[in-house]
């Protein structure tokens, strides 16, 4: 019996006999990530362990992105804890305001995460990097501290669910709609502790940004990871980013794909020609519905950005909708480029000018509104449409507010209409 991508990555990172799904392993970790919410706890635990130095200062990444720029004294203290630890340990990959970005967009952009690697992060959306063919997953802060000390972490090798996407995408349908539809089909626990492997002809044609979106939301189905087999699109992305040596694939690049006789827990085929732009209604990502099937739902806010949909292609789509139009006078439209580089590219292309003319607000990169932290909190009774990844009760503010998830085109069109709307209806 052959091996899945997930099994192959674990076998690459352990010593001894090969393992399969269900086995427990103590595996070497390539990258260990923390942010300004989770890393301060890890730092405290690391110091309690009594270890003087981290296992490899080049393999630890610290990105204060959730409450930055610091919204209050407490958030400033959290960011300070990261800054001081990074200086003390001489951490190479520390990125603060002015150089930072939303972590799960920043790390691939800088070439820090690569195909075939084993990556952990004290953040649930670490699974984003599965779009590059890496096994990437979220862990707790104490697990992160232990990894900083040892360079290893314990895992149970997950079973794999394979999703095969066929057919031709309809207009305005993106990777966001594919993953929302999938989560709606299997539920928020439908892939609990499973590796979700996205495959098929549609995925092979899917741009890298949309692949990141799909892998990012694997956790919303309970997935341990969201993997896509590396191909020429993956290789081109890796070649073109900062830490790839002179445009060549890095030495540790691993083109890993599942064997033809690999064992899957289940295989699900999805005909994308039947999918139109989706929304997830409050209060679960699985509460999905085709946007054209909705009754009138007025909104107070539209958020376009985050680690899910804050990349340049997302901003281009939003600009296409907003160009020559105005945001509805009763709606606040807030746009978050995911990194400084994306911000600059959007500025170069004139997208920021389009947004400002449309009377939207453009923010520095931050996770702020997505987790109800700052820069777009909802009051009691308010409703937002957002390109983010979660819409739990109170996710973006008051427990009696509501969040609807969508792709950037739907979010932008809804900002103009003042209600949730299909872009074709604008």
Q: How confident is the model at residue 255 (pLDDT cuts 50, 70, 90)?
A: confident
Please report the pLDDT score of residue 149 as a whole number: 96
Q: How confident is the model at residue 345 (pLDDT cuts 50, 70, 90)?
A: very high
Please report the pLDDT score of residue 259 as a whole number: 86
Which residue, among 106, 155, 100, has the nearest Cα to 126 in the 3D structure?
106
Beta strands 225-228; 195-199: pairing state: parallel
pLDDT for residue 354 is more than 60: yes
pLDDT for residue 117 is more than 60: yes
Please report the pLDDT score of residue 7 as a whole number: 96
| Structural domain count, the chain | 2
207-223 mean pLDDT: 97
> Of 325-329, 368-372, 374-378, which range is least confident?
368-372
* Residues 118 and 70 placed together within one structural domain of the fold: yes
170-188 mean pLDDT: 97
- pTM here is 0.93
pLDDT digits (tens, 9 = 90+) for 280-310: 999 999 999 999 999 899 999 999 999 999 9
Please report the pLDDT score of residue 363 as a whole number: 94
pLDDT for residue 254 is more than 90: no
Please report the pLDDT score of residue 251 as a whole number: 55
pLDDT for residue 97 is more than 90: no
Boundary (domain end) residue, out of 270, 298, 319:
270
Residue with tokens 């959306």: 125
* Residues 285 and 382 placed together within one structural domain of the fold: yes
pLDDT digits (tens, 9 = 90+) for 36-72: 999 999 999 999 998 999 999 999 999 999 998 999 9
Query: Order of strands, edge to edge, in the sheet holding 383-386?
Result: 288-290, 278-280, 402-405, 383-386, 301-305, 332-336, 361-362
* Residues whose CB falls within 8 Å of the CB of residue 17, separated by 6 or more in sequence, listed in order: none
pLDDT for residue 400 is more than 80: yes
182-209 mean pLDDT: 96
pLDDT for residue 226 is more than 80: yes
Q: How confident is the model at residue 241 (pLDDT cuts 50, 70, 90)?
A: confident
Q: Report the distance separating Cα 326 and Cα 348, nearest Å.
A: 21
State what percent of residues in the chain have pLDDT above 70: 97
347-364 mean pLDDT: 97
pLDDT for residue 249 is more than 60: no
When the pLDDT of each residue in the chain is averaged and rounded to a whole number, the result is 94
pLDDT for residue 247 is more than 60: no
CB 114 within 8 A of CB 253: yes
Boundary (domain end) residue, out of 251, 270, 289:
270
Please report the pLDDT score of residue 248 as a whole number: 56
pLDDT digits (tens, 9 = 90+) for 118-176: 999 999 999 999 999 999 999 999 999 999 999 999 999 999 999 999 999 999 999 99
Tokens of 79: 């960011």
CATH code of the domain containing 380: 3.30.499.10
pLDDT for residue 242 is more than 80: no
Tokens of 208: 């890298």
State what percent of residues in the chain have pLDDT above 90: 88
* Residues 165 and 233 placed together within one structural domain of the fold: yes
* Residues 44 and 13 placed together within one structural domain of the fold: yes
Please report the pLDDT score of residue 124 as a whole number: 94
pLDDT for residue 93 is more than 60: yes
Boundary (domain end) residue, out of 270, 292, 313:
270
* Residues 98 and 209 placed together within one structural domain of the fold: yes
Q: Report the distance separating Cα 180 and Cα 383, nearest Å.
A: 19
73-99 mean pLDDT: 93
Please report the pLDDT score of residue 78 as a whole number: 92
For residue 114, the enclosing domain spans: 5-270
* Residues 323 and 252 placed together within one structural domain of the fold: no
Please report the pLDDT score of residue 256 as a whole number: 85
* Residues 100 and 244 placed together within one structural domain of the fold: yes
* Residues 56 and 120 placed together within one structural domain of the fold: yes
203-226 mean pLDDT: 97
* Residues 286 and 262 placed together within one structural domain of the fold: no
* Residues 187 and 297 placed together within one structural domain of the fold: no
CB 124 within 8 A of CB 223: no
């Amino acid at each position: 019996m052959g091996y899945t991508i997930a099994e192959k990555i674990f076998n690459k990172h352990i010593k001894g006999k090969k393992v399969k799904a269900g086995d427990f392993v103590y595996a070497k970790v390539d990258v260990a990530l923390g942010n300004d919410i989770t890393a301060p706890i890890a730092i405290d635990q690391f110091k309690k362990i009594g270890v003087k130095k981290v296992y490899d200062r080049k393999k630890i990444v610290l990105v204060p992105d959730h409450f930055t720029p610091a919204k209050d004294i407490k958030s400033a203290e959290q960011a300070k804890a990261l800054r001081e630890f990074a200086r003390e340990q001489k951490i190479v990959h520390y990125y603060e305001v002015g150089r930072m970005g939303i972590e799960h967009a920043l790390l691939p952009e800088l070439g820090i995460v690569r195909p075939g690697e084993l990556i952990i992060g004290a953040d649930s959306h670490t699974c984003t990097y599965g779009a590059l063919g890496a096994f990437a997953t979220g862990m707790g802060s104490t697990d992160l501290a232990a990894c900083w000390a040892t360079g290893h972490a314990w895992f149970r090798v997950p079973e794999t669910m394979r999703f095969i996407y066929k057919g031709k995408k309809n207009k305005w349908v993106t990777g966001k709609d594919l993953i929302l539809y999938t989560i709606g089909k299997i539920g928020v626990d439908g892939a609990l502790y499973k590796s979700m492997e996205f495959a098929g002809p549609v995925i092979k044609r899917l741009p890298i940004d949309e692949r990141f979106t799909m892998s990012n939301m694997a956790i919303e189905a309970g997935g341990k990871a969201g993997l896509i087999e590396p191909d020429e699109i993956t290789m081109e992305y890796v070649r073109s980013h900062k830490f790839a040596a002179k445009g060549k694939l890095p030495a540790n690049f691993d083109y890993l794909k599942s064997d033809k006789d690999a064992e899957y827990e289940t295989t699900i085929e999805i005909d994308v020609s039947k999918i139109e732009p989706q929304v997830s209604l409050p209060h679960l990502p699985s509460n999905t519905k085709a946007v054209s099937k909705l009754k009138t739902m007025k909104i107070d806010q539209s958020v376009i950005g985050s680690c899910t949909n804050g990349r340049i292609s997302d901003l281009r789509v939003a600009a296409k909708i907003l160009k020559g139009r105005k945001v509805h006078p009763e709606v606040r439209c807030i746009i978050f480029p995911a990194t400084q580089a994306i911000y600059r590219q959007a500025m170069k292309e004139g997208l920021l000018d389009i947004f400002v003319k449309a009377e939207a607000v453009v923010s520095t990169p931050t996770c702020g509104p997505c987790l109800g932290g700052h820069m777009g909190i909802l009051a009691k009774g308010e409703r937002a449409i957002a390109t983010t990844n979660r819409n739990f009760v109170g996710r973006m503010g008051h427990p009696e507010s509501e969040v609807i998830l969508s792709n950037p085109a739907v979010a932008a069109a809804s900002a103009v209409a003042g209600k949730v709307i299909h872009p074709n209806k604008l």
